[in-house]
Structure 1
Amino acid sequence: MRNQFVGKLVLVAAGIAVLLVLTPFAIVPAGHRGVLTTFGKPSPEVFDEGLHFRWPIAQSMHLVGVAIEKGEGEGDAASKDLQTVKTKVVINYHVRPDAVVAVYRDLGNQPGERIIVPAVHEAVKAVTARYTAEELISKRAIVRNDIVDALRERMARHGLVIDEFSIVSFNFSKTFDEAIEAKTTAEQLKMKAERDLQRIEVEAQQKIARAKAEAESLSLQRQQVTPELLRLRETENQAKAIEKWDGKLPATMAGGAVPFISLPAKQ
């Protein structure tokens, strides 16, 4: 009983395999193009997404992805000033639909391993050698564009297109990182000292301006003080004193003396 069940399963599996092999249709899914081979020889025609006829056994449909692929990696290189640089990059690329036959035939349908990885490593090393370690940091965008330019031509020859390229990070030796940190600290201290000096200069100029203004004010006042002005001020002070007097004479003077003595009237 058990042997019969196993035998039926084998027959069913064999039947499915035969149907798959003998089916006269092939499907190219979305994000792919098809390369039809006849007894192993690829056809020059590129098959779009959809259902396509093929001769069973004699022909096979091979799929080549044309959607955007992502590749990332890192490697060591030397800068212009002989600093060791470990660069991590990310690249997005795709196969040109019209070049899928060449990619299948010449690259074994493995563009990432055969072209992208070695091309990126070579371009990164070549461009890194043009810049000092500090320039790699300060001119990061320019370095990125140089790497893309170095990659674009080589990849185009194989039907590959760069969609995006990013430099994730530059990593240097510990000694270089410490030197950069020390330089940054020194520059920050220098900027602070310059700001302090500017503040001191401004404050000194403000003090000089205030002192000059006060001196000019005093000089002007001295020039305006004349005998006539003094007499005028004295008169004004006396007038103010009279305005404040209530008309009463003091009863006593200092020391208990009577200010006025009543005299008898003349006979």
Structure 2
Amino acid sequence: MAQASNVLTKIAQVSVGLGLAGSMVQSAIYTVDGGERAVLFDRFQGVLEETTGEGMHLRIPWLQSPTIFDIRTRPRSISSITGTKDLQMVNITLRVLSKPNVEMLPTIFKNLGPEYDEKILPSIGNEVLKAVVANYNAEQLLTQRSEVSAAVRIGLTKRAKDFNILLDDVALTHLSFGDEFSKAIESKQVAQQEAERSKFVVQKSEQEKLAAVIKAEGESDAAKLISDATKSAGPGLIELRRIEAAREIAATLARGRNVVYLPSQANMLMGMNPGK
């Protein structure tokens, strides 16, 4: 019995030793996934200047502890309510694609910590938006949106570099004004449409008057020409016009179904058809 008890005791001791050894080995290993970097903090040396990349790495348990940073580009929306040059309030939303400067990760860790983007981007985003929007009036924000977006991108990229943050893209995604300004814009558009409509009516009236004058002048010239022709041609022209008129009347009557012609000394008589 004593011998069996000693064997069990040794087995237990070995198991405990293996367990402790396995725990120490596990605590001495850490893994960095794709798109990540690790910054090591040493209790004696502080934050190490060299970062570790993807893969499995060793560390000294208790003495060293890794902090994992995501170095991939991440999107963020920044909203700001600010005033324009003409004192109109505008609500602007900015989309930012950002990532940390990998070479400066130890500095970022020491100065800002792992949540560096949460601390910096909203603050500098509002700062740049207010500074840029203040240079434009409300109408310019609508008509020169690309220029405003470019100015915000330049200013925000410069400020982000001060904190070792790189920006891949900056764009305005939303821009809206207060209810009063929106109503004023709508009223202005309605007034412009009414003015254009009134302008069209005036131009149409002027064109109609001009057409009437031209028509009257044409009729006057035609009458004058006929009068001159009559004076120069004598009664022969009048007789020709009478014959042409008689011919037109005869052609019109010929198309009628209820007309009867009775020749009598070149005169035409009309009557109703007895059959009707």
**TM-score where L is the length of structure 1:** 0.71
Deviations 1:183-227 (A, max 9, x none): 222122112212222222233333333333333333333332345
**1:16 Cα deviation (Å)?**
7.3
| Correspondence 1:131-170 to 2 at 5 A | 131-170=136-175
The answer on whether the counterparts of 2:36 and 2:70 sit within 8 Å (CA) in structure 1 is yes
AA partner of residue 21 (structure 1)? S
Match of 1:192 in 2: 197
**1:17 Cα deviation (Å)?**
5.4
| Structure 1 residue 53 corresponds to structure 2 residue 43 | no
Match of 2:41 in 1: 37
Deviations 1:155-210 (A, max 9, x none): 11222222222333334333333222222221221122122222222333333333
AA partner of residue 26 (structure 2)? L
| Correspondence 1:199-210 to 2 at 5 A | 199-210=204-215
The answer on whether the counterparts of 1:102 and 1:158 sit within 8 Å (CA) in structure 2 is no
The separation in 1 between residues aligned to 2:84 and 2:20, in whole angstroms, is: 61
- Of 1, 26, 33, which residue of structure 2 is paired with 1:20? 26
Residues 150 and 231 of structure 1, relative CA distance in 2, 3 Å threshold: same
User: Secondary structure of the residue that 1:82 maps to in structure 2?
Assistant: coil
AA partner of residue 186 (structure 1)? A
The answer on whether the counterparts of 1:127 and 1:143 sit within 8 Å (CA) in structure 2 is yes
**1:42 Cα deviation (Å)?**
2.8
User: Secondary structure of the residue that 1:30 maps to in structure 2?
Assistant: coil
Percent of aligned pairs with the same amino acid: 21
**1:249 Cα deviation (Å)?**
8.2
Unaligned runs of 5+ in 2: 1-15, 251-261, 268-276
Moved more, 144-153 or 54-63: 54-63
Residues 209 and 151 of structure 1, relative CA distance in 2, 3 Å threshold: same
The separation in 1 between residues aligned to 2:125 and 2:28, in whole angstroms, is: 43
The answer on whether the counterparts of 2:230 and 2:237 sit within 8 Å (CA) in structure 1 is no
Match of 2:100 in 1: 95
Unaligned runs of 5+ in 1: 1-10, 254-267
Residues 65 and 233 of structure 1, relative CA distance in 2, 3 Å threshold: same
The separation in 2 between residues aligned to 1:138 and 1:249, in whole angstroms, is: 84
The answer on whether the counterparts of 1:83 and 1:172 sit within 8 Å (CA) in structure 2 is yes
The answer on whether the counterparts of 1:33 and 1:46 sit within 8 Å (CA) in structure 2 is yes
Residues 182 and 228 of structure 1, relative CA distance in 2, 3 Å threshold: closer
Residues 201 and 111 of structure 1, relative CA distance in 2, 3 Å threshold: farther
**TM-score where L is the length of structure 2:** 0.69
Deviations 1:44-79 (A, max 9, x none): 23433x324323314443322221212113232222
Residues 22 and 52 of structure 1, relative CA distance in 2, 3 Å threshold: closer
**1:230 Cα deviation (Å)?**
3.4
Residues 93 and 206 of structure 1, relative CA distance in 2, 3 Å threshold: farther
The answer on whether the counterparts of 1:68 and 1:94 sit within 8 Å (CA) in structure 2 is yes
The separation in 2 between residues aligned to 1:192 and 1:183, in whole angstroms, is: 14
User: Secondary structure of the residue that 2:87 maps to in structure 1?
Assistant: coil
Match of 1:258 in 2: none
AA partner of residue 33 (structure 1)? R
AA partner of residue 63 (structure 1)? I
The separation in 2 between residues aligned to 1:218 and 1:236, in whole angstroms, is: 14
The separation in 2 between residues aligned to 1:221 and 1:85, in whole angstroms, is: 74
After superposition, the CA RMSD in angstroms is 3.5
* Pairs aligned (count): 234
Match of 2:76 in 1: 71
